[in-house]
Amino acid sequence: MTENEHDDRILDRLVALTRDLILIPSIPSRPEDRRRCYEFVRNHLEAIENVEVFEYEHHGIPSLVAMPVNVREPEVLMCGHLDVITHPDVYSYRSYIEDGKIYGPGAGDMKGALAIMLEILRDFHTKHPGVSLGLAVTADEETGGKAGIGYLFGNTNLRCGAALIPDGGSLNEITIEEKGILHIKIRCQGRAAHAARPWLGDNPIEKLMDRLSNLQKYFSSFKRDEDHWFPTCSITIIGTENQTINRVPSNCEAICDIRFPSPFTIQEIMDKTREVLGADVEIEVVISAEPTHLSPDPLYQQVTEEITGEPAALVREHGGSDARFIYAGGVPIMMSRPIVGNLHAENEWINIQSMIKYYRIYEKYLTIKLLKKSKS
Ligand SMILES: [Zn+2]
């Protein structure tokens, strides 16, 4: 078989597997489907010889770790998530191929990459029994990762020498740093009244609008250059349970999504946010994560450049990922991914040719790291 034929054969498997995964709407609002997608992945892994599968569940969310038999801390752990974000129309969880891309929800984030990791695991353990390579698959990355990678590393004591996470960067962009995250719920209390006599009440919506505008002013003061590597704050949800037009409600709330780079800390951002919003406003932290440094292995960058024939840039990521839970353990994390686009939209896509390149990057990196070393 020529190398091209070999590539085609792997690609056929990767494309089929990716499309099978896209077909299952593995979203939080459909736990049975999420479970079905999990079972699909588990069945795939159980068919691999020399690999043991450990299953977990936390808050009803399943996750698994596939390890070489008798190994508890692999030298390299690949990490993937099978959950995708929710689209209103459940029938949008379909895929099609056009212009060399697979289109469909989760194609780029990250069912295509998950397919690659499943195939890499199968290939390595079939050819090299006992190779120190594991795979963790979780189902809650899009909703915070706490019950998935957070649980595996925080509660089950999962450890590894290094981690591969195809959930940021691009084929020739390796992520070295991620912003921290603060999702906060802001509540304002007031006093209900008939809207024809507003002086008898205390309108919490007006107070909330006023405080949110102060918060926006504060965060816009960080604005400097076009790279946006400074703290930002987005108001993403705002509302009251009031259903009555002529009534001043007694309370209302908003949710803000704050992102901040190092050296800012959660403490610093929270202190300032509290000060700006004022003491009479309730703040509840929904999700918090410190900024993350990934410290990727230089060999990974070198291999990426060799396989793609192009320079690989080290980049900073505005979004956060599961990496933050692993970084808490201080291990090097390699984060890049195939070429993807329209992430979190219904017409999300993954470039098919970049999938085979990505597969080859993993193959070469893992061969040097896990196989050549032991022979020398
Ligand atoms: Zn993702």
- Rounded to 10 deg, the angle between the 3-22 and 112-127 helix axes is 130
If you average pLDDT over residues 307-321, what whole number do you get? 94
CA distance 338 to 316: 17
Give distance in angstroms: CA of 238 to centre of ligand 1.
Answer: 26
Q: Report cis status (omega within 30 of 0) of the bond before 334.
A: no
Can you give the pLDDT at residue 330?
80
Residues of the chain above pLDDT 90, percent:
88
Give distance in angstroms: CA of 167 to centre of ligand 1.
Answer: 5
Can you give the pLDDT at residue 320?
85
Which two tokens mark 173?
């962009």
Give distance in angstroms: CA of 212 to centre of ligand 1.
Answer: 30
| DSSP category for residue 324 | H
Give distance in angstroms: CA of 321 to centre of ligand 1.
Answer: 7
Give distance in angstroms: CA of 111 to centre of ligand 1.
Answer: 9
Residue 374 has pLDDT above 60, yes or no: no
Give distance in angstroms: CA of 244 to centre of ligand 1.
Answer: 40
Give distance in angstroms: CA of 68 to centre of ligand 1.
Answer: 25
Give distance in angstroms: CA of 343 to centre of ligand 1.
Answer: 9
Give distance in angstroms: CA of 336 to centre of ligand 1.
Answer: 11
Give distance in angstroms: CA of 141 to centre of ligand 1.
Answer: 6
- Band the pLDDT of 90: cuts 50, 70, 90: confident
CA distance 296 to 306: 17
Task: Identify the residue with better confidence: 151 or 1.
Answer: 151
Handedness of CA 101, 105, 106, 109 (dihedral sign): positive
- Band the pLDDT of 372: cuts 50, 70, 90: confident
Beta strands in the chain (DSSP E): 51-58, 61-68, 76-81, 96-98, 101-103, 133-138, 162-164, 173-178, 180-189, 193-194, 232-239, 247-248, 251-260, 282-289, 292-293, 313-317, 333-334, 340-341, 349-351
Residue 218 has pLDDT above 90, yes or no: yes
Give distance in angstroms: CA of 285 to centre of ligand 1.
Answer: 22
Token pair 């959660």 in the structure block, residue = 266
Residue 59 has pLDDT above 90, yes or no: yes
Token pair 């609008």 in the structure block, residue = 209
Contact 102, 350 (CB under 8 A): yes
Give distance in angstroms: CA of 140 to centre of ligand 1.
Answer: 10
| DSSP category for residue 280 | T
Give distance in angstroms: CA of 49 to centre of ligand 1.
Answer: 28
Comparing CA positions, the residue from 227, 270, 59, 57 lying closest to residue 152 is: 57
Give distance in angstroms: CA of 373 to centre of ligand 1.
Answer: 31
Give distance in angstroms: CA of 104 to centre of ligand 1.
Answer: 14
The residues that bridge with 58 in the sheet, in sequence order, are 61
Give distance in angstroms: CA of 98 to centre of ligand 1.
Answer: 23
Give distance in angstroms: CA of 317 to centre of ligand 1.
Answer: 13
Which two tokens mark 251?
């309370």
Give distance in angstroms: CA of 100 to centre of ligand 1.
Answer: 22
Can you give the pLDDT at residue 359?
98
Contact 184, 284 (CB under 8 A): yes
- Which residue type sits at 294? L
- Which residue type sits at 209? M
Comparing CA positions, the residue from 66, 76, 30 lying closest to residue 46 is: 66
Give distance in angstroms: CA of 224 to centre of ligand 1.
Answer: 29
Give distance in angstroms: CA of 298 to centre of ligand 1.
Answer: 23
Give distance in angstroms: CA of 81 to centre of ligand 1.
Answer: 7
Domains belonging to the chain, first-starting first, are: 3-178+292-375 (3.40.630.10), 180-289 (3.30.70.360)
SS3 176: strand
Among 91-95, 229-233, 324-328, 354-358, where is mean pLDDT lowest? 324-328
Give distance in angstroms: CA of 169 to centre of ligand 1.
Answer: 11
- Which residue type sits at 136? A
Comparing CA positions, the residue from 13, 47, 53 lying closest to residue 134 is: 53
Comparing CA positions, the residue from 107, 52, 39, 115 lying closest to residue 80 is: 115
Task: Identify the residue with better confidence: 23 or 90.
Answer: 23
Give distance in angstroms: CA of 145 to centre of ligand 1.
Answer: 10
Which two tokens mark 187?
């509540």
Give distance in angstroms: CA of 359 to centre of ligand 1.
Answer: 18
- Band the pLDDT of 373: cuts 50, 70, 90: low
If you average pLDDT over residues 128-154, what whole number do you get? 95
Can you give the pLDDT at residue 282?
97
Can you give the pLDDT at residue 226?
80
SS3 214: helix
Contact 326, 148 (CB under 8 A): no
